[in-house]
Structure 1
Amino acid sequence: VDLPTRAITGALNFGHGVRPHQAVVDPNSGLLYVTTEIDKRIAVIDPKTRAIVGSVPTGADNSHMMVLSHDGRLGYTANVKPGSVSVLDMAGRKTLAVIPVADVVQRIAISADDRLVFTSDNTRPRLAVIDTATRSVRQWVDLPGLSYGAAATKDGRWLLIAIPSISAVGVIDLTTLKVARTIPVGDAPQEILIQPDGRVAYVSCARSGSVSAIDLATWTVVRQIPTASGADGLAWASRQSARVSGK
């Protein structure tokens, strides 16, 4: 999609049903990774040629969402129905481990220092904290409701997590691994995206059809951005892309 003109400029066909969900660009290699749930794999795509150049097996069904370590070496997927997290060698294109977590998981996040990975138990109000060194669940964080998408702040101090059942964002102190505060947002928050400069967090709110903007210095909602109903996934257009478009 060309952002300035909002026109579709091309498409990539997987050739069969794969149920693609999340696309993640690795700034280190320039490769694009896309989860393909039905194939139990991550598709590896060259965005310049728009060609599939390989794949990474996840070793589990329903590999739904993924995150990369900041050096791009490791990938982590949340596998919905098995309720597990896969650890992937992105360069070697192989599965390193599959970590049992809960009956159902879906979204996933990673800490700024890559030491922790987080995924919500979608059957109980708690968050799994996974130690990336031991590749095991280190502990659980009790939450005031069932949770969904999460994102860590750039300074490594906080994890923000969407809690749809109470229409709020929980703020977890990563030094104590406890909920420090909750922030009311739009109805049914889904995903959280933190601005590249670390100052603002954007929260998609499905039932209210809006995106709540949270000032991370004051922990307050400073803007409600109207969208269509069902707002969910969020992505950030890079400043480099903005310069190319002349804006």
Structure 2
Amino acid sequence: MVAAARPVPVGSVPSDVVLSSDAQRAYVISPSSNNVTVVDTRSATVIGEPLRAGIFPSALALSPDGSALYVAGGESDDLRAFDTRTHRPIGAPVSIGDAPSGIAISPDGTTVFATGHYSNDVRLVDAQSWRVVGEPIRVGARPSQISMSRDGLRAYVTNSGADSVSVLDVESQRVIGSAIPVGLYPYGVVVSRDGARVLVANQNSDTVSVIDTATAMVMRTIPVGDSPTTIALSPVGDLAYVTNMYADTISVISIETLSVTEVSGTSAQSPRGIALGTLSNVDAGDVSKRPRPGKDAP
């Protein structure tokens, strides 16, 4: 059962959250406050001062070893890195695509992938040299979120303006085949631990599309709550948790049966970001009903 703990005050309009590998730290992005709040999950208290994270930060991700936090500035069009031990910036911000809205890190931690919501592309940044590498990879209209397979061979991008998902071959830095049609305004995306399935949250059709990665086709469409936004896997990968932003609920989906096993209410208003760990479940809520990433509505 999904249980709610006491809320932790963070910045204005929190929209995304990531957990450290030991689940003792949560990093919460607040676009309207232009910062990231660090939370001690054991004591449910804020640690230090918020990290300044560009203009309207829109996405964040941790390096595989947990040493670096990457934050995309949705309206400053840049990527920033912070040392998670000192909370200090690592290098200067790197300019990337127009309105970056999603970040993924290669499993070896060498490359950061960022979607450009208005440039309709994915850009790669070398984590060591801290430079953009290669050419922008063109995807569908209004790409939002991106998720990588555990083996690092494929990346999946939700094209919110095209109602589709693009599949990237990471080694060649090219799109594979045609975009896969899914539901209306796909946003959140996650790859199953075995890489066989990709789950996509369709905000405007209130469903989750399940893509068979072997056939690159939707194998099932699962009804969930109003405006599903973000999807996160449980630590062992057997369950997927979906935030239903306008229903103030979380739908729990079994990866084995591809069915909803539970729908739980949440004390957070308009829950959007979600992350799960063995220590605690952290639900970033208190989000105003501004439904879209970046600068506009679809």
Partner of 2:242: 203
CA drift of 1:238 comes to: 5.2
CA drift of 1:207 comes to: 1.1
Partner of 1:111: 149
Matched residue of 2:273: which SS?
A: coil
Of 170, 177, 191 in structure 2, the residue corresponding to residue 152 of structure 1 is 191
Q: Would you say how many aligned residue pairs link Structure 1 and Structure 2?
A: 240
Please give the TM-score of this superposition, normalised by the length of structure 2.
Answer: 0.75
Query: Percentage identity across aligned positions?
Result: 25
Matched, 1:23 2:63: no
| Distance in 1 separating the partners of 2:127 and 2:114 | 12
Partner of 1:134: 172
| Distance in 1 separating the partners of 2:54 and 2:124 | 24
CA drift of 1:56 comes to: 5.5
Deviations 1:28-72 (A, max 9, x none): 262111112344322111111111122462432211220001111
Matched, 1:60 2:100: no
| Distance in 1 separating the partners of 2:119 and 2:64 | 30
Comparing 56-65 and 195-204, the one that deviates more: 56-65
Of 142, 159, 163 in structure 2, the residue corresponding to residue 125 of structure 1 is 163
Matched-pair contact (CA < 8 Å) for 2:191–2:199 = yes
Matched-pair contact (CA < 8 Å) for 1:56–1:95 = no
Greater relative contact order (Cα < 8 A, sep 6+)? 2
Matched-pair contact (CA < 8 Å) for 1:56–1:88 = no
What is the correspondence of 1:1-247 to structure 2 with a 5 Å cutoff? Answer: 1-14=39-52, 17-28=54-65, 30-55=67-92, 57-96=94-133, 97-139=135-177, 140-227=179-266, 228-237=268-277, 239=279
Change (3 A) 1:131 1:185: same
| Distance in 2 separating the partners of 1:44 and 1:124 | 30
Structure 2, unaligned runs of 5 or more: 1-38, 282-298
Matched-pair contact (CA < 8 Å) for 2:234–2:277 = no
CA drift of 1:24 comes to: 1.4
Let me know the Cα RMSD of the aligned residues: 2.0
| Distance in 2 separating the partners of 1:125 and 1:22 | 20
Change (3 A) 1:125 1:17: closer
| Distance in 2 separating the partners of 1:100 and 1:74 | 18
| Distance in 1 separating the partners of 2:48 and 2:257 | 42
Please give the TM-score of this superposition, normalised by the length of structure 1.
Answer: 0.89
Deviations 1:144-172 (A, max 9, x none): 43311100000111000011222111110
| Distance in 2 separating the partners of 1:104 and 1:59 | 15
| Distance in 2 separating the partners of 1:153 and 1:104 | 24
Deviations 1:115-137 (A, max 9, x none): 22111222222211122122122
